[in-house]
Amino acid sequence: MNQWQSLPKSRRHLIKLVQTYTLKALQPLRKWCIQPIRSWSHRHSSWGFICLFLVGVSLSVMMTACSSRNADNAGNAGATSKSDVTLTFVSYSVTNAAYQQIIPKFIEKWKKEHNQNITFNQSYDGSGSQTLAVIDGKEADVVHLSLALDINKIVEAGFIQPGWEKEAPNDAIVTKSLNAIAIRKGNPKNIKTWADLAQDGVKVVTADPRTSGGARWNFLSLWGSVTKTGGNENQAINFISKVYKNVPLLPKTARNASELFFKEGQGDVLLNYENEMISLAQQDGEKVPYIVPDVNISIDNPVAVVDKNVEKHGTRSVAEAFIKFLYTPDSQREFAKLGFRPVDLTIAKEVEGNFPQIKTLFKAQDLGGWNEIQKKFFDEGAIFDKIQAKKF
């Protein structure tokens, strides 16, 4: 019988416990631990075993706690991480040019402050289409969409927590714009106001309200041009019906509509964002003739963190910092350069001379808010569908 077997059963059991907890904490030193522990056991009392046992337990607990903290830190990509953070950013089509200027500045700022590289996965499409994509599984960390209705749909699907409007400044509205009418050089159709779009022989290009947030804003400007100047709803329906009879097709996005008008030469006029007209003029290097009617709607574009996805990806701190960056003077100036009306009042004052003044400006809230607007105008069988049915 060897020395180990000659020990009392209770003492062998205690030694095994010491081995278990001590070696759990000191796994890399395993081969150096077992024999010294056994040898030590022949020369010391049971109280010594107990002390050694408690030391092993303590070491194990500390190692477990450290491992847990390390796992948490890894999930959140701490300040010493280098290049393991990816942020998925989803927005509507006409913001693309602005973000090509803003995102590199944020990446540089974050790197300087946190010594961490960020890779952005960017996606730009119609606001309505992007909304459906996020709901269907596109794992956006941050969304900047054309209208609050689209973000509310993501809330209803369980991806964003209610109250998102209060998580960022200005009720989470990060950019503003107005509706504009692009015309052909020399204005051969003599277009001056919304009313002129109902004339016979005027071919109108606008996107589809079922997929494009910009197209919904277009529709609401047409509606308000009647109801906010003394007309009733029947008059508004008759007017918009005439305008949409002049719309030969409905492209998916506001950017698609711009391409049809400017690149393919389709249509006499284009309905789109004011910022889109300004941005395209800068890209093409020539002035785009357009009109900003003095009865117009304030196009308020919101931004939000997609709570469910940032929790999954461990990217909340980066996502929230990115949204905060969009409200800085630097970012607001970049938006303004590309035709967006800044929400920062100081920057708005700086650039006010670049934008025409509006006589009658109304908001979505003046039409009942987006839930009422959706139900009244854009749900299946609502006013837009009825107007479309009259075309055929």
For residues 43 and 101, give the distance between their C-alpha atoms in angstroms, rounded to a whole number. 73
Nearest by Cα to 267 from 390, 182, 389: 182
DSSP letter for 82, please.
-
Structure-token pair, residue 236: 């508004």
Of the ranges 45-54, 162-171, 208-217, 358-367, which one carries the lowest mean pLDDT score? 45-54
Residue range 126-151, pLDDT digits in tens: 899 999 999 999 999 999 999 999 99
3-state secondary structure of 251: coil
At 63 the pLDDT is 39
Task: Please say if the pLDDT value at position 183 is more than 50.
Answer: yes
Average pLDDT over residues 346-365: 95
For residues 351 and 342, give the distance between their C-alpha atoms in angstroms, rounded to a whole number. 8
Structure-token pair, residue 45: 């009392």
At 279 the pLDDT is 83
3-state secondary structure of 27: helix
Residue range 304-321, pLDDT digits in tens: 999 999 999 999 999 999
50 vs 364, which has greater pLDDT?
A: 364
Task: Please say if the pLDDT value at position 300 is more than 80.
Answer: yes
For residues 252 and 222, give the distance between their C-alpha atoms in angstroms, rounded to a whole number. 19
At 392 the pLDDT is 64
State how beta strands 173-177 and 299-305 pair.
antiparallel
Average pLDDT over residues 19-32: 40
3-state secondary structure of 84: coil
Residue matched to tokens 């003599």? 190
For residues 218 and 208, give the distance between their C-alpha atoms in angstroms, rounded to a whole number. 10
Name the CA radius of gyration of the chain, rounded. Answer: 31
State how beta strands 295-297 and 360-362 pair.
parallel
Residue range 325-336, pLDDT digits in tens: 999 999 999 999
